[in-house]
């Protein structure tokens, strides 16, 4: 190889390295902090591939965020059930306070919006349940109408909040912004139903489908991350 061709060849290799062409981006992605921590993203930030909506209204991707239009409905992940894992959901309310929820332990794929309410659990998103004549058993991070909050760390809109929901066999643990709000084990005492829209009482399965509630046009919540990580085997 003469000197001029060698210079051109080396220059080309250097450009490929600088632009990240070839395998370099994949290596960087595999070594990213989130990948190293074991988190698997269920929302790609572009579309709702792998998700399905049931009930009234719909969920859309708006500037890289999931949000509802109309409702009451549920957007659920269709590809698998989840158990023995931590689910991380990052969200913010459109208004100072808005209503939504993250559903867990849904035993079968839902065909309408009320089935997940009565046969799964809703991890509530609502910092002011008293405005709807509801009590603190309906506060952000509780299992809706079933558990009393251990703390009330929810941030008002438009600040971002992080929910971390751990499903550990029959135990459900919920942290909101790093503060524990719920620690519930199947079969623990719960209050009687106060409203007909509250879930039926009873045991839920160790694993199930998960979903995001679309509460209605008056209660818009934006979701920017839904991720799952298995918990360590004991």
- The predicted-structure confidence for 140-159, as pLDDT tens digits, reads as follows 999 999 999 999 999 999 99
What CATH number is associated with residue 214?
Answer: 2.60.120.560
Note down the domain range covering 51.
Answer: 39-230
> 7 with 49, same domain?
no
Mean of the per-residue pLDDT values of the chain: 87
> 13 with 73, same domain?
no
- Residue 122 DSSP SS3: strand
Domains identified in the chain, total number: 2
End-to-end Cα spacing for the chain: 60
> 47 with 158, same domain?
yes
Query: What is the tens place of the pLDDT at every residue in 170-190?
Result: 999 999 999 999 999 999 999
> 51 with 84, same domain?
yes
Give all strands (DSSP E) within 70-205, no chain letters.
73-77, 85-93, 100-106, 121-125, 160-168, 171-176, 179-185
Full-model pTM: 0.84
Query: What is the tens place of the pLDDT at every residue in 187-216?
Result: 999 999 999 999 999 999 999 999 999 999
> 160 with 183, same domain?
yes
How long is the chain? 234
């Amino acid at each position: 190889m003469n000197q001029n061709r060698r210079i051109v060849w080396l220059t080309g290799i250097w450009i490929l390295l600088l632009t990240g062409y070839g395998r370099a981006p994949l290596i960087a992605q595999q070594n990213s902090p989130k990948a190293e921590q074991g988190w698997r993203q269920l929302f790609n930030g572009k579309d709702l591939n792998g998700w399905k909506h049931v009930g009234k209204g719909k969920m859309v991707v708006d500037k890289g965020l999931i949000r509802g239009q109309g409702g009451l409905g549920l957007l659920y992940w269709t590809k698998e059930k989840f158990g023995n894992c931590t689910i991380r959901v990052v969200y913010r309310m459109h208004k100072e306070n808005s209503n939504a929820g993250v559903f867990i332990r849904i035993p079968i794929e839902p065909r309408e919006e009320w089935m997940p309410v009565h046969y799964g659990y809703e991890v509530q998103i609502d910092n002011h349940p008293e405005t709807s004549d509801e009590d603190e058993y309906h506060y952000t991070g509780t299992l809706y109408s079933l558990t009393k909050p251990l703390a009330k760390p929810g941030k008002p809109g438009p600040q971002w909040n992080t929910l971390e929901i751990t499903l550990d066999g029959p135990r459900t643990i919920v942290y909101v912004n790093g503060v524990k709000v719920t620690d519930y084990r199947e079969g623990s005492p719960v209050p009687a139903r106060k409203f007909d829209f509250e879930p039926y009482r009873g045991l839920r399965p160790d694993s199930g489908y998960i979903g995001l509630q679309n509460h209605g046009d008056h209660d818009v919540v934006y979701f920017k991350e839904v991720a799952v990580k298995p918990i360590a085997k004991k």
